[in-house]
Amino acid sequence: MTTTTHLVTGHWIGGEIVAGSAGTIPVVNPATGETVAHTPAGTAADVDRAVAAARTALPGWAATTPQERAEVLRRLAAGLAARQEEIAAAITAEMGAPISLSRTAQVGFPAAVIESIASLAGEFPWTEEIGNSLIVREPIGVVGAITPWNFPLQQVVSKLAPALLAGNTMVFKPSENAPLTALILAEVAADAGVPAGVFNVVYGTGPVVGEAISAHPGIDMISFTGSTRAGRRISAVASETVKRVALELGGKGANIILDDADLPEAVHKGLMMAFSNGGQVCGAWPRMLVPAARQDEVVALAVEAARQYTVGDPTDEATRIGPMASEAHRVKVNGYIERGIADGARLVFGGPGRPDGLTTGAYVRPTIFADVDPDSAIAQEEIFGPVLTISPYADEEEAVAIANGTQYGLTSGVFGAPEHALAVARRLRVGQVDVNAGHWNALAPFGGYKQSGNGREFGRFGLEEFLEIKSIQR
């Protein structure tokens, strides 16, 4: 594969590139181990400058109409679509997503989300009358956004689009492992008409820049996507200034296959939801729960389907699973595979180590375990890799109990006769359930129960996260 070097010369603050002053952080291609870029190692002083720019820009941006802001968002979506190939190549280089997935999910979904948020401008109840009160929805102020590496553009767009439509300004910290799309987004936003200071980017690490954003008294809200551990820390730091915190955290989704399901469809689509993006998806379904009497059928179907998931060079159009996003993450995922074997789960596909023919790079073997104890580490902890666990259940009550039996509550799937599957879906303690692989809806709320977070993204529910509510009695 050919490695392209990407140029990032500074933070984006107040509508221009601002040089860093505290060294740099390398960006490493996980497929090759080569450094493809360096970004500034941001400091608390850089955050101060970005917050000052955002606060200066806030009154003017908040004074525009929702319709004017929606037009800017539509131009932003068009600008991202025009740079699809550049963005896709950057994401593939920085975190290893297969190039075909980078074009579709990594770039296509963000553009669709922006369009869906822009469509709300004319129908959203910005003001309403309740008795003798006028209810006014206003921007919350300056939003601090902190995002992970698995969907670098999607994660920030899911925050930026509703925040901007609501009239807020933003200070954004991308993951230091996948920062390359942040500057492209800033450039496209400026070309779309986002005024200087409305969107600012500060590169750096979580312990330095993330902490500074979370604690900053000039930031009114934190919107974070990432691990549950990091979400706890952000909540604690942000509480000192009593700012609003919206968290989209980890997941351990269950795919419940009922006894009246279309078994081949349930297994094939369930495996896709476990292996997509190399399993590095918070909303994945890494647990497959199956009737005990049909586990052998499910295993045979899953193994057959898994053979179609080609692992290799992420720039190859035929690749379905690229490397893990970093060497450190490869070691973590591989450790879970070894732990599953040690704890007695039945290995039916894959296993520890790199795939045959791949002696370097952050690659793991797509792996399937059967007869998995629902209380074991591989069934309880977020692996964030292409590892599927299959657990048999005796009856529907046990299936629901297993599905609900983790600290997480983000997503799940249910396959079965439509009304039967819907009834089971209602019993799951998660924020989003797909029944028989229901189609993705950009206007439906996304977010978690329990330790998968609080708040919602997408559609009207996501927009409301970024608004304050004022009541005026007359």
Q: Nearest to residue 159, comparing CAs of 251, 223, 67, 78?
A: 223
Residues paired with 388 in a beta bridge: 368
**Distance from C-alpha of 467 to C-alpha of 165, rounded to nearest angstrom:** 10
Q: Is 419 a catalytic site residue?
A: no
| DSSP tag of 473 | E
- The Cα-based distances of 136 to 118, 129, 143, 159, 464 in angstroms read 19, 9, 19, 22, 12
Q: Is 187 a catalytic site residue?
A: no
Give the gyration radius of the chain's Cα atoms: 22
Catalytic residue among 115, 282, 382, 465: 282
Catalytic residue among 115, 176, 248, 465: 248
**Distance from C-alpha of 216 to C-alpha of 218, rounded to nearest angstrom:** 5
Concatenate the DSSP letters of all residues of 365-400 into one string: --EEEES--TTSHHHHS---SSEEEEEEESSHHHHH
**Distance from C-alpha of 250 to C-alpha of 65, rounded to nearest angstrom:** 36
> Are the CB atoms for 30 and 91 separated by under 8 Å?
no
Residues with catalytic roles = 248, 282
